[in-house]
Amino acid sequence: MAGIKKEKQMKKLLVLTDFTANAAHAAIAAVRLCGKLNTDLLLYHTVQYIPVVPDYNAGSYVTVTAGILFKDTEENLSREAASLRSLEQNFPGYQPRISYVNGEGDLSENIKALSGQQDIRLVVMGGRSGGALDHLITGSDTAAVIRKARKPVLIIPEKVELTELKKVVFATDFGVADISAVNYLLEIAPPLGFKLEVVHVVRPGEVVTEIQPEVAFRKYLNHLDSYQITYRQLSGDRISQRLQDYCHETGACLLAMTPGHHDFIFRVFGHSETKETIAQHGLAVLIFPPDFEKNNSLSS
């Protein structure tokens, strides 16, 4: 109808929950982030398919069992959403609208569909007690979410408090996808109040024969001319420990990276010392999934 202005759709943080303490901690952190990013919150849980052994009499049993599970998770989601709403007034900034949805079936495919929606800005999930990076390597659900998500995935361990973000460290391998990730981080930097440091770790004595990717990436960073971003090259034998130690030394509680077809993640964090260093330094991780570059518009 002429003369009626269409209301702009609010952005949302998609928060995954399995009703554990880790997930609840991540959801509370997400409410704080919503207040600063001026976004709403969508709480999500999925009920996995129930394995069925062929049996002529199993049909009604499976249907009833699935129905009970779905109803139980609906009730749990409702309680968790109500608990989060009761916390809103304790946090400054925008008071987010908190809704929830219950899904069923394959988690990764459901996340692919949900995170592909234009109103979803970020996916948030809890990390295991061992730490977010340990969960990134060993958690099959986390790996599946990262593979299929269309928006960045923030993993928050239970011991990490994201109450004040002063610095975010972005580990780069000079990949093309890193540019889209930097743009995203610079857009959320002002409302979250952090400065971005782009870091590349080289091993002592390492000889780089192909310097064009680094030259192009550095040229792009210089072109940005933003006071919110700096670049630093670090040296260390054990890349994972060097990065995590650097975050600890500089007060950064969030490390961001792109997957680089997964080889960069495993090359950086797939070492035996990872679990030990994570235990020493609590660290949240922001992963830009493989499909992010195609879906990186924040204002659309």
pLDDT, one tens digit per residue, over 60-117 is 544 545 566 667 888 989 999 999 999 877 787 889 999 999 988 888 889 999 999 9
Q: Which residues contact 86 (CB under 8 A, 6 or more apart)?
A: none
Q: What is the mean pLDDT of residues 46-65?
A: 56
Number of Cβ within 10 Å of residue 109's Cβ equals: 13
Which helix (H) or strand (E) element contains residue 82? helix 59-87
Q: How far apart are CA 91 and CA 32, in angstroms?
A: 6
| Confidence bin at 268 (pLDDT 50/70/90) | very low
**pLDDT beyond 50 at 298:** no
Whole-Å CA distances, 291 to 116, 195, 263: 10, 25, 16
pLDDT, one tens digit per residue, over 232-258 is 888 877 777 788 888 888 989 899 988
pLDDT, one tens digit per residue, over 174-222 is 888 888 999 999 999 999 999 999 998 877 766 666 678 888 888 888 8
Q: What is the CA radius of gyration of the chain?
A: 21
DSSP E strand stretches across the chain: 12-16, 40-47, 98-104, 120-126, 153-156, 167-171, 195-202, 229-235, 254-257, 284-287
Among 147, 257, 279, smallest CA distance to 199 is for 257
Q: How far apart are CA 125 and CA 27, in angstroms?
A: 8
Which helix (H) or strand (E) element contains residue 276? helix 274-280
236: Cα separation from own chain's centroid: 26
Least confident range of 19-28, 49-58, 192-201: 49-58
pLDDT, one tens digit per residue, over 274-295 is 344 444 457 888 989 888 865 5
Q: Which residues contact 248 (CB under 8 A, 6 or more apart)?
A: 280, 281, 283
Q: Domains of the chain, with CATH numbers?
A: 12-295 (3.40.50.12370)
Specify burial of residue 73 (Cβ count, 10 A radius: 0-12, 13-18, 19+): buried
Classify strands 284-287 and 153-156 as parallel, antiparallel or unpaired. antiparallel
- Confidence (pTM): 0.82
Whole-Å CA distances, 59 to 47, 65, 92, 235: 18, 10, 51, 61
| Confidence bin at 49 (pLDDT 50/70/90) | low
